[in-house]
Amino acid sequence: MSDRDTSLATTSPATLRPARICGQLLAAMEGSEGRRKKRKRNTTPDAIGMSIKRNLLSRATVDDPEPDDFEAWLLHQCLTAGPLTGATRAMAMDILDEWRLALASEEFRAWLDQGAPSDDAES
């Protein structure tokens, strides 16, 4: 049975793959986008950051880096980001934190399994 055939919540952290978590995090971004659109201030910087994060998550799902190499993979993405190095670094750090949370928290993995439900998600 593959890792994709079991729930994230019951999957051993030792067998989790960054690509799987990043795919789930992509789905979770819908709630963030809903919150961003409801704000009264100019959210262009937020949209740029979310776009960078979405791109990193998408590439991680395709590249499927080894769990032990994920931090180095993220660093490489930052070093090759050109003029967006700072923004890419910020989003890479966010993704690394979420990866570590997924490894440490069965509850977080269960929330991702449920499609990352949010009251802010757009219908």
From first to last of the 123 residues of the chain, give the pLDDT tens digit. 444 557 887 788 889 999 999 999 998 887 665 555 565 666 677 788 899 999 999 999 999 999 999 999 999 999 999 999 999 999 999 999 999 999 999 999 999 988 888 766 554
What local confidence, expressed as pLDDT, does residue 120 receive? 60
Whether 122 is in a domain gets the answer no
Whether 108 is in a domain gets the answer yes
Our count of domains for the chain comes to 1
**Domain range for residue 63?**
15-113
Whether 1 is in a domain gets the answer no
What local confidence, expressed as pLDDT, does residue 78 receive? 97
CA-CA distance, 64 to 27, in Å (whole number)?
17
Whether 84 is in a domain gets the answer yes
Whether 3 is in a domain gets the answer no
What local confidence, expressed as pLDDT, does residue 14 receive? 86
Whether 19 is in a domain gets the answer yes
DSSP letter for 40, please. Answer: S
Whether 76 is in a domain gets the answer yes
What local confidence, expressed as pLDDT, does residue 1 receive? 41
**Token pair listed for 61:** 């799902």
